Chain A
Amino acid sequence: MNAADLPPELAQPATPGLIDAVRSIAQGSLAGRAYAIDRGAYPVDLLKQLAAAGAMSAHLEKADGTPGDYGLAILAMAEAAKVCGATGFMMWCQCVAGLYLQASGNPALTGERLARHVRGETLGGTGLSNPMKSFAQIESLLLKATPVDGGYVVNGVLPWVSNLAPDHYFGAIAAVQTDGPGASREMMFMLRCNAPGVTLKACPEFSGMEGTGTFSVHCKDLIVGADDIVADPAKPTIARIRGCFVLLQCGIAAGIIQGAIDSMWAVEGQLGHVNQFLEDRPADLQAEFDALAGRILKLAETPFDTSTDYFIDVLDARAHGAELCLRAANSALMHQGARGYLMGSEVQRRVREAQFVAIVTPAIKHLRKEIARLSAEEMPA
Chain B
Amino acid sequence: MTPQPTPVSAAVQTLAPWQSYICHACGYIYNEAEGDPDSGLAAGTRFTDIPEDWACPLCGVTKSDFELYEAPSLDALRAQASDCATAWTNTSRSAHGVTIVGAGRAGWQLAEALRARDSTIPITIVTACAGDVYDKPLLSVALARRIAPEKLIKETGAAAARRLKLRLLPHTQAVRICRETRQLRTTRGTLRYDQLVLAHGAKASLPPALPAALCWRINHLGAYLKLREALGDAATTGPKDVLIVGAGLIGSELANDLALGGHRVTLLDVQPEPLARWHADKAGAQVLQAWKDLSIRFVGEVKVASVERLALDAERLWQPQPAGTACAGQTTRLRITTECGQHFAADEVIVAAGLQTPSRLAQSAGLAWQNGIAVEPQTLRTSDERIHAMGDCITLDGQASRFIEPIARQARTIAAAITACEPVPYEPKATVIRVKTTSMPLTLH
Contacts and interface: CB of A to CB of B under 8 A. Distances in A.
Contacts of B26: 159
Interface stretch (A10-18, A172-180, A370-378): A370-378
A121 interface: no
Interface string B207-247: 00000111111000001001000100000000000000000
A159 B91 contact: no
Given A204-B57, A216-B61, A378-B212, A291 B180 contact: yes
A368 B56 CA distance: 29
B45 to A, nearest CB: 20
Contacts of A312: 175, 360
A313 B57 CA distance: 38
Given A142-B24, A287-B180, A379 B93 contact: no
Nearest to B219: A377
Contacts of B187: 368-369, 371-372, 375
B348 interface: yes
Contacts of A309: 360
A376 B128 CA distance: 8
A157 B65 contact: yes
B230 A380 contact: yes
A218 B60 contact: yes
A371 B213 contact: no
A128 to B, nearest CB: 14
Contacts of A320: 185
Interface residues of B, number: 42
Contacts of B348: 380
Contacts of A379: 212-213, 216-217, 223, 226
Contact of B92 (A216, A279, A291, A381): A279
A288 B25 contact: no
A371 B173 contact: yes
Interface in B19-61: 24-26, 55-61
Contacts of B185: 316, 319-320
Interface in B303-334: 324
B62 interface: yes
A139 interface: yes
A159 B60 contact: yes
Contacts, number: 97
User: DSSP class of A's interface residues: helix, strand, loop or mixed?
Assistant: mixed
B176 interface: yes
Contacts of B216: 379-380
A156 to B, nearest CB: 8
A140 B64 CA distance: 13
B386 interface: no
Contacts of A380: 213-216, 226, 230, 348
B59 A327 contact: no
A157 B62 contact: yes
Contacts of A94: none
Contacts of B324: 381
A157 B61 contact: yes
A218 to B, nearest CB: 7
B115 interface: no
B224 to A, nearest CB: 11
Interface string A312-356: 110010011001000100000000000000000000000000000
Contacts of A287: 180-181
A203 B55 CA distance: 12
Contacts of B172: 372
Interface string B169-187: 0011101101011000101
B170 to A, nearest CB: 12
Given A379-B226, A380-B230, A142 B65 contact: yes
B27 to A, nearest CB: 10
A377 B218 CA distance: 11
A291 B185 CA distance: 14
Residue of B61, B188, B213, B215 most packed against chain A (CB within 10 A)? B61
B203 interface: yes
Given A157-B25, A279-B91, A279-B92, 18 more contacts: A130-B25, A140-B24, A142-B61, A201-B60, A203-B60, A216-B59, A216-B60, A218-B62, A280-B91, A287-B181, A312-B175, A316-B176, A316-B185, A372-B172, A375-B128, A379-B212, A380-B213, A381-B324
